């Protein structure tokens, strides 16, 4: 389960059958493929994350302007070669500084490095998608959110 520090605003969600609330991390999932977006959203929601989906980079940017997220995942093979990395670059400029990563199912077959990809893609964190390895997805998401929390804590200690 993801833990949050007071510096990381998260949405309060009621626990099933209880009056208590649980803090959940918000994830923005930008993927033009509806089936993929819904599958990942279902997995992350079942794991306790609050997930918003966006079908286009414009929609994702609009959601980033409206709400705060702890993690932004964008499809490597979105509408165009620059769409996914563009969403992540925009997200990193936001004051709330979410963790960011590209996701792709295409790389599973070769598991090859992104040496032929554009430089901005090579510099991104990558989450490989697989229907058979849900635990990898959940571990990777939790790790990215945890790394973000660590960065924010280090910065707050330096002040």
- The percent helix, strand, coil of the chain (3-state, each to 5) is 40, 20, 40
Q: What is the largest CA-CA distance in the chain?
A: 52
Residues with Cβ within 8 Å of residue 113, at least 6 apart in sequence: none
Tell me the whole-structure pTM to 2 decimals.
0.73
Q: Residue 57 — very low, low, confident or very high, per pLDDT cuts 50/70/90? A: very high
All structural domains of the chain with their residue ranges: 22-104+115-149
Share of the chain above pLDDT 90, in %: 43
Nearest Cα neighbor of 57 from 73, 41, 68 is 73
pLDDT digits 0-9 by tens, 84-142: 999 999 999 999 999 999 988 765 444 444 445 555 444 456 676 655 678 888 888 99
Q: Residue 6 — very low, low, confident or very high, per pLDDT cuts 50/70/90? A: very low
Q: Please state, in angstroms and as integers, the Cα–Cα distance from residue 64 to each residue in 30, 96, 102, 104, following that order.
A: 11, 10, 16, 21
Q: How far apart are CA 155 and CA 16, in angstroms?
A: 35
Architecture label for domain 22-104+115-149: 3-Layer(aba) Sandwich (3.40)
Q: Residue 54 — very low, low, confident or very high, per pLDDT cuts 50/70/90? A: very high
Averaged pLDDT for residues 132-158: 84
Collapsing DSSP to helix, strand or coil, 40 comes out as helix
Other CB atoms within a 10 A radius of the CB of residue 79 amount to: 15
Give pLDDT, residue 1.
41
């Amino acid at each position: 389960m993801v833990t949050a520090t007071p510096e990381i605003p998260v949405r309060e969600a009621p626990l099933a059958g209880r009056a208590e609330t649980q803090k959940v991390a918000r994830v923005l999932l930008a993927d033009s493929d509806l089936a993929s977006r819904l599958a990942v959203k279902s997995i992350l929601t079942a794991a306790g994350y609050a997930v918003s989906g966006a079908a286009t980079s414009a929609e994702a940017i609009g959601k980033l302007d409206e709400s705060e997220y702890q993690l932004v995942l964008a499809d490597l093979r979105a509408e165009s070669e620059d769409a996914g990395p563009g969403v992540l670059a925009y997200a990193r400029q936001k004051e709330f500084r979410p963790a960011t990563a590209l996701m792709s199912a295409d790389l599973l077959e070769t598991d090859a490095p992104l040496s032929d990809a554009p430089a901005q893609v090579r510099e991104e964190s990558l989450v490989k998608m697989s229907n058979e390895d849900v635990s990898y997805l959940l571990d990777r998401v939790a790790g990215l959110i945890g790394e973000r929390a660590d960065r924010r804590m280090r910065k707050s200690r330096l002040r």
